[in-house]
Amino acid sequence: MTITEDRPDTAAPDAEIGKARRRKEDQRLITGRTRWTDNLTVPGMLHLAMVRSPFAHANITSINTDEAKAASGVIDVITGEDIKDVQGVNANAWPITTDQVTPTHLPVAVSRVACAGEIVAVVVARTPAEARDAAELVDVDYEELPAVLDLKEAAADTVIAHPDLGTNKCAFWKLDSAEQGSGGDVEAAIAKARTDGIVIEREYRQQRLIPAFMEPRSVLVDPTGEQMIVWSSTQVPHILRFLIAATMGIPESKIRVIAPDVGGGFGGKLQTTPEEFATIAISRRLGKPCKYTETRSESLLSGHHGRDQWQKLTLSAEKDGTVTGLKVDLLADMGAYVAIVGGGVPVLGAWMFNSIYKFPAYQFNCQTVLTNKTWVDAYRGAGRPEATFAIERIMDELAAELGRDPIEVREQNWITHEEFPFTTVAGMTYDSGNYEAATAKAKELFGYDELRAEQQQRRDSHDPVQLGIGVSTFTEMCGLAPSRILGQLNYGAGGWEHASIRMLATGKVEVLTGSSAHGQGHETAWSQIVADRLGVAFEDVEVLHGDTQIAHRGMDTYGSRSLVVGGEAVVRAADKVIAKAKVFAAHLLEASEDDLEFKAGRFEVKGTDKGLAIGEVALAAFAGHNLPDGAEPSIDADATYDPVNFSFPHGTHLCAMEVDTETGATTMRKYVCVDDIGTIINPLIVEGQIHGGLVQGIAQALWEGAEYDENGTLVTGSFVDYTLPTAADTINYVSDHTVSPSTTNTLGTKGVGEAGTIASTPAVVNAIVDAIRSFGVNDVLMPCTPERVWKAILTGSAKPAEGEREAAPHFDDGAPNQDNPDTSASTQGGAQ
């Protein structure tokens, strides 16, 4: 399979932007000299081990720590009771309604646990091994309480996850296009379609997922200096610092948070965690540096999970396929506690279910619900994959109902490129896009018509291996987020980003960004942006981040915001540097500012050969010998950028899946995506983001799902059962781009971090359903395991022609096949 390497030539030949620069970050990563938090040591450092609840819901009746305290190397064993006044609280930053029911989430439980994995005691010891040994000796008595595990049952309030709250219903959030004046009345549209049109009603399940970043989380706290230093494997050093100050009573000025090299996050590390808060409280209590590093099992159990929704959709359309209304009813599991974004995650879907289609009427209802399971928060895409999945699935159902090609039906209903900017029925204004162009390119790369022909041929010949084609024409909202909108939504913080540029005397440049990377390649991409903007060499730019003492202002990295918001802040800081430098340059060149032109890093006096490089101006500022009267001797600059709108990447993803109808096994045959992410800074990094995003989205469709047993124990608690795909399970993807630059930022970028994940899941499931629709199948629950696919075929409403389903079971009609295994060895059965 070929990998499409053609990329648009949007940049000047010598421009850094658009160049496939190899990453600056790689050297230490490929040689093993990385600063993961768990690699760090501080003299006198102690190690923590957590004692966690095995029960989903229980009162803690007693904790006996005597034996553990007496064990070798144990400094202390600390319970929630010991630190209840100083441990702070794990806060929800986005109460989606003013009356949201929000249980208090203590880092170390004091009297009751509400999910398995909650911390009930912490052992502090000389070595990690001694801490773990002693943790086994802590004797906790529990009084088990009824646990509510199923989302729909929780919504019925028969068993209550937090009895003191009296209800599991956390918050209800609604968007109605008629009420807010952005569209018509959806009930009227549906009623009309029931008598004179088409109504499609479906319920989809977004299974619970686990982010499963590769680096288990780790936190090291040194409380002994003037500023307490917290090293943490986090996506959000700035937010963590703020919340430590806000909930633990420590002055913000006394806290320094460092996110050293961080091994992936995907939303899973945007939490402020019980483990962080417990480690801080305990290291302060003991006055000693303490480190805690989780095991993979702990990570899967106690790090927040993602998705977990039931989605009811009602779509109305005219008989010709023109959509007239969309109503969405969501049930969203918050788990046992409302996490930092919490209910905000499903609510982000409110503006995305309508997607690229011109629904005249729309309603979105979201009920968030508490259960006795691990808390749920952002996972790559956060709210948008869920919405995209449902709308792209139901658009296929509409096409099937009409008996038409799914792309054709989409095209009939999508916003055409002439219609931008376009204000949607949800109230968002999409600035740019060209769905026709992306789709045309994708179809060509995919060989759409040929694959359709092959599909028909396989159907006609009753091939046991059927072929399906899945379409996903998605959009998403990136660049979180305009602070004013966040304020209207009751979010606890702004959505701006900060950058500083330091012009060093030797002509080198330091760029400080508040957007803290964990694999995305900010150091490289920001260098390219600054190199172009200031006309300096790529190698001369140093990007610093992830330390609140260095990059003191920031809103961190999530929601595909870094480039769109953080990159724009860098651009604006650079422009301020140029403006400051221009004043100095004019003075030094004895010219009027109006006569100066800044080009390729030099201020030149128009029409002369006189000029100064920006580095020379930086040196003059450093010396300060000859500056305009009263001028401050610096050309450094800061910028804080608050976006005015979101950005809206889009794309067309096409997936071909082969389904072995005898076993239900699925095999990906081909995957093509054409994404419009606006201007591309570094095509290599973009490709990498797309590939990784695709596999995470495909993994939701095919492989991953967090499953609990009836006691509330996570049964997919290790990588044996939480089945991440490997290189052997995946293929090469064909990715390409169309470019319609965003109009909401200077660079025209839109964001790419989540696109692959958002788009791919419905493309895969649509392909599987398409392959077996002739068996009367119109849905398969995710992950689409072979068993589920096979059972869907078996129970599909359409009974295939004779001879088509040779794989029909023969073992349940009175066959002598249910023998006790103990006796089977000597029976007449086939197996011995």
Partner 1 sequence: MIPATFDYLAPTSVADAIAALEEHGDEAKVLAGGQSLLPILRMRLNAPGVVIDLGKISELQGVTEDGDDLVIGAMTTYFDVLASDAVSTHAALLNKAIATVADPQIRHRGTIGGALVHADPAGDVGAPALALGASFVIAGPGGATRTVAADDFFEDLFQTAVGEGELLTQIRVPKHTGWGAHYEKFVRVSHQWSIVGIAATVRSEGGAIAEARVGLTNMGSTPLRAKAVEEALVGQPATDEAVRAAVAQVADGTNPPSDLNGDSDYRKHLATVLTRRAVLAAAGA
Partner 2 sequence: MTRITVNVDGTKYSDEVEPRTLLVQYLRESLGKTGTVIGCDTSNCGACTVHLDGTSVKSCNMLAVQADGHEVTTIEGLAKNGELHPLQTAFHECHALQCGYCTPGMIMQSCDLLKNNPDPSEQEIREGLEGNLCRCTGYQNIVKAVQQAARQGKESGQQSGQGDADGNPVDLNEAEQTVGATS
Q: Which of 315, 487, 478, 320 has its CA nearest to residue 404?
A: 320
Q: Which is nearer to partner 2, 168 or 557 (CB)?
A: 557
Q: Which is nearer to partner 2, 65 or 520 (CB)?
A: 520
Please provide the distance, in angstroms rounded to a whole number, between the alpha carbons at the two ends of the chain: 45
Distance CA 317, CA 194 (A): 9
Touching partner 2, residues 515-534 (CB under 8 A): 518-521
Distance CA 228, CA 657 (A): 53
Residue 121 in tokens: 């005691």
The DSSP H or E segment spanning 203 is strand 198-209
DSSP bridge pairs for 468: 657
* Residue 293 · residue 404 · CB < 8 Å: no
Residue partners of 655: CB distance under 8 A and separation at least 6: 469, 470, 472, 668, 670, 671, 672, 760, 763, 764, 766, 767
Nearest distance from C-beta of residue 207 to partner 2, angstroms? 18
Q: Which is nearer to partner 1, 535 or 705 (CB)?
A: 705
# residues near partner 1 by CB under 8 A: 50
* Residue 233 · residue 215 · CB < 8 Å: yes
The residue within the footprint of partner 2, chosen from 684, 781, 794, 807 (CB under 8 A), is: 684
Beta strands in 633-726 (DSSP E): 637-641, 650-660, 666-676
Residues 737-776, mask of contacts with partner 1 (x by CB under 8 A): ----------------------------------------
The span of 146-154, 409-417, 483-491, 692-700 binding partner 2 (CB under 8 A) equals 692-700
The sign of the CA dihedral 628, 632, 637, 638 is negative
Which of the choices partner 1, partner 2, none does residue 691 contact, using the CB cut-off of 5 to 8 A by kind?
partner 2
The sign of the CA dihedral 239, 244, 249, 252 is negative
Q: Which is nearer to partner 1, 225 or 821 (CB)?
A: 821
Q: Which of 109, 105, 57 has its CA nearest to residue 82?
A: 109
Which of the choices partner 1, partner 2, none does residue 398 contact, using the CB cut-off of 5 to 8 A by kind?
none
Which of the choices partner 1, partner 2, none does residue 815 contact, using the CB cut-off of 5 to 8 A by kind?
partner 1
* Residue 641 · residue 497 · CB < 8 Å: yes
Distance CA 383, CA 374 (A): 18
Nearest distance from C-beta of residue 213 to partner 2, angstroms? 6
The span of 129-137, 153-161, 493-501, 566-574 binding partner 1 (CB under 8 A) equals 129-137
The residue within the footprint of partner 1, chosen from 54, 73, 128, 447 (CB under 8 A), is: 128
Q: Which is nearer to partner 2, 496 or 671 (CB)?
A: 671
Beta strands in 272-350 (DSSP E): 290-293, 306-317, 323-335
* Residue 44 · residue 116 · CB < 8 Å: no
Nearest distance from C-beta of residue 774 to partner 2, angstroms? 31
The residue within the footprint of partner 2, chosen from 62, 98, 726, 828 (CB under 8 A), is: 726
The answer to whether 70 contacts partner 1 (rule: CB under 8 A) is no
Q: How many CB atoms lie within 10 A of CB 165?
A: 15
Distance CA 132, CA 623 (A): 58
Which of the choices partner 2, partner 1, none does residue 308 contact, using the CB cut-off of 5 to 8 A by kind?
none
Q: How many CB atoms lie within 10 A of CB 720?
A: 7
Nearest distance from C-beta of residue 720 to partner 2, angstroms? 5
# residues near partner 2 by CB under 8 A: 62
Strand order in the sheet with 666-676: 465-475, 650-660, 666-676, 734-737
Residues 792-821, mask of contacts with partner 1 (x by CB under 8 A): --------------xx-xxxx--xxxxxxx
Which of the choices partner 2, partner 1, none does residue 785 contact, using the CB cut-off of 5 to 8 A by kind?
partner 1
The span of 165-173, 257-265, 467-475, 580-588 binding partner 2 (CB under 8 A) equals 257-265
Q: Which is nearer to partner 1, 628 or 829 (CB)?
A: 829
Nearest distance from C-beta of residue 382 to partner 1, angstroms? 25
The answer to whether 4 contacts partner 2 (rule: CB under 8 A) is no
Q: How many CB atoms lie within 10 A of CB 549?
A: 11
The residue within the footprint of partner 2, chosen from 12, 15, 20, 798 (CB under 8 A), is: 20
Q: Which ranges constitute the DSSP H helices of 536-682? A: 568-589, 614-623
In total, the chain counts a number of residues equal to 832
The sign of the CA dihedral 188, 193, 195, 199 is negative
Q: Which of 690, 682, 540 has its CA nearest to residue 22?
A: 682
Distance CA 301, CA 754 (A): 24
Measured at the CA of 537, the angle between CA 534 and CA 542, to 5 degrees, comes to 85
* Residue 279 · residue 233 · CB < 8 Å: no
**DSSP structure class, residue 594:** G
Which of the choices partner 1, partner 2, none does residue 216 contact, using the CB cut-off of 5 to 8 A by kind?
partner 2
The residue within the footprint of partner 1, chosen from 624, 707, 711, 795 (CB under 8 A), is: 707
Residue 537 in tokens: 């060499």
Which of the choices partner 2, partner 1, none does residue 31 contact, using the CB cut-off of 5 to 8 A by kind?
partner 2
The answer to whether 732 contacts partner 1 (rule: CB under 8 A) is no
The residue within the footprint of partner 2, chosen from 73, 103, 184, 264 (CB under 8 A), is: 264
Distance CA 157, CA 148 (A): 9
Which of the choices partner 2, partner 1, none does residue 817 contact, using the CB cut-off of 5 to 8 A by kind?
partner 1
Q: Which of 211, 173, 159, 210 has its CA nearest to residue 372?
A: 159
The residue within the footprint of partner 2, chosen from 167, 365, 730, 824 (CB under 8 A), is: 730
Q: What is the 3-state secondary structure (H, E, C) of 199-259?
A: EEEEEEEEEEECCCCCCCCEEEEECCCCCEEEEECCCCHHHHHHHHHHHHCCCHHHEEEEC
Nearest distance from C-beta of residue 464 to partner 1, angstroms? 9
Nearest distance from C-beta of residue 136 to partner 1, angstroms? 7
The residue within the footprint of partner 2, chosen from 724, 781, 794, 807 (CB under 8 A), is: 724
Residues 631-670, mask of contacts with partner 1 (x by CB under 8 A): -------------------------------xx-x-----
Phi, psi of 652, deg, nearest 5: -120, 120
Which of the choices partner 1, partner 2, none does residue 181 contact, using the CB cut-off of 5 to 8 A by kind?
none
Which of the choices partner 1, partner 2, none does residue 263 contact, using the CB cut-off of 5 to 8 A by kind?
partner 2
Phi, psi of 141, deg, nearest 5: -100, 130
* Residue 393 · residue 283 · CB < 8 Å: no
Which of the choices partner 1, partner 2, none does residue 820 contact, using the CB cut-off of 5 to 8 A by kind?
partner 1
Residues 775-794, mask of contacts with partner 1 (x by CB under 8 A): ----------xxx--xx---
What does the binding site for partner 1 look like in residue numbers (CB under 8 A)? 128-129, 132-133, 136, 295, 297, 662-663, 665, 702-703, 707, 715-716, 718, 720-721, 723-726, 728-729, 785-787, 790-791, 806-807, 809-812, 815-821, 824-825, 827-832
What does the binding site for partner 2 look like in residue numbers (CB under 8 A)? 3, 5, 7, 19-23, 25-27, 29-34, 36, 38-39, 129, 212-216, 261-264, 266, 295-297, 518-521, 683-685, 687-696, 718-720, 724, 726-728, 730, 732-733, 756
